[in-house]
Structure 1
Amino acid sequence: MNGKRYGQPSPSAREGRRAAAREAEKHGSKSTPAVALRPSVGYQHAEAFCLMWYACECGHRERIWNSRDGVTPLGFVCPSCKEPKLRHVNWALDQYAPDHVPAIGQRVWINLTRDRAMEIASRTVDQVAKGKVPVGTDLQRIADAVFNEGMAPDLVVYGYVEAS
């Protein structure tokens, strides 16, 4: 990386924003932060349909698109170092992009499906219970908790198709 602590905005970007704000103030217009540019009407969450930066201490950075009006995790496992240290950073740089078309291979937040919730519940039970599968209703109850009435996010790779 560039020697700066991960997730920290570069001083030149801050200086540029401040200079632009001073210039706008001189000409009588008020500058608005990026967050204010997002339409709040009709959406429940500030990160709805935003491109968001995630960064890890190992140096990995990526921009993930939230394709839904729902919350996203603040952090999760980094694909580079396999540690749970990938964090949503530089929130002011979140960009509202409802018409964004992800590039092949870009990761995207989508709504979790019931089938995927059952898959996650089964995998979790296998890891925790070491193969002792609970009674069907218990597994369904766990899957329902993971599914969270359709509000839970799932991270997918755009353009990826599972081989059959």
Structure 2
Amino acid sequence: MRSFDGYRHREAFCLMKYAAEDGSEVEWIWNSRDGVTPFCVSNRAGGKMLKHIDWYLDRRILDYQPLACERIFVDLSPERARQRAQHRVEFFWDRDDCAHIREMYGTKENAVEGFIADSRVGEAPDLVEFSSLSIT
């Protein structure tokens, strides 16, 4: 179903403003796809959350050319899904409050595969720095 100027999602190919609640950081992030984007993302340092604000300023720019230092939303790749899953499993595996993960999956390898299966590869958004993309 297409309903937003021919796209499935309102934020398709939009440059969007994300900011910290205290106003200390603002980042414009481009969605390079016709897919959903998160309401909040971590700042680059990982210490603050940036929230999508001022939606009325979102601008659809199909041919936007991000600078090498800018972050953009892309479809989650199988490689990044595996990285995320491995990171999550390592972080949560030995925590007492996460025993249900060990019980559910039995091994770290099974947990990684389970997290990957739940990650919606090719559909879910992934936030990457433009310079980190391999462009061929």
Aligned residues: 122
Query: Match for residue 127 of structure 2?
Result: 155
Counterpart of 1:152, as a letter, is: A
The one of 70, 85, 96 equivalent to 1:121 is 85
Higher fraction of strand? 2
Query: Match for residue 76 of structure 1?
Result: 41
Looking at structure 2, the residues matched to 81 and 144 of structure 1 have their Cα atoms a distance apart, in angstroms, of 26
Counterpart of 1:140, as a letter, is: E
Q: Report the TM-score, using the length of structure 2 for normalisation.
A: 0.79
Identify which of structures 1 and 2 has the higher relative contact order when contacts are C-alpha pairs closer than 8 Å and 6+ apart: 2
Query: Match for residue 143 of structure 1?
Result: 116
Query: Match for residue 99 of structure 2?
Result: none
Equivalent residue runs for 1:11-160 within 5 Å: 40-41=5-6, 43-58=7-22, 59-80=24-45, 82-83=47-48, 85-130=49-94, 134-146=107-119, 148-160=120-132
Seen in structure 2, the aligned counterparts of structure 1 residues 60 and 135 have a Cα distance that, compared at 3 Å, is closer
Counterpart of 1:99, as a letter, is: D
Unaligned runs of 5+ in 2: 96-101
Seen in structure 2, the aligned counterparts of structure 1 residues 121 and 90 have a Cα distance that, compared at 3 Å, is same
Looking at structure 2, the residues matched to 154 and 74 of structure 1 have their Cα atoms a distance apart, in angstroms, of 13
Counterpart of 2:27, as a letter, is: E
Give me the CA root mean square deviation. 2.4
Counterpart of 1:95, as a letter, is: R
Runs of 4+ residues over 6 Å off in structure 1: none
Percent same amino acid among aligned pairs?
34
Counterpart of 2:124, as a letter, is: A
**SS of 1:69's equivalent?**
coil
Q: Report the TM-score, using the length of structure 1 for normalisation.
A: 0.67
Unaligned runs of 5+ in 1: 1-37
Seen in structure 2, the aligned counterparts of structure 1 residues 80 and 135 have a Cα distance that, compared at 3 Å, is closer
Asked if structure 1 preserves the Cα contact closer than 8 Å seen for 2:89 and 2:111, the reply is no
The Cα of 1:160 is off from its aligned counterpart by: 3.0
Counterpart of 1:153, as a letter, is: P
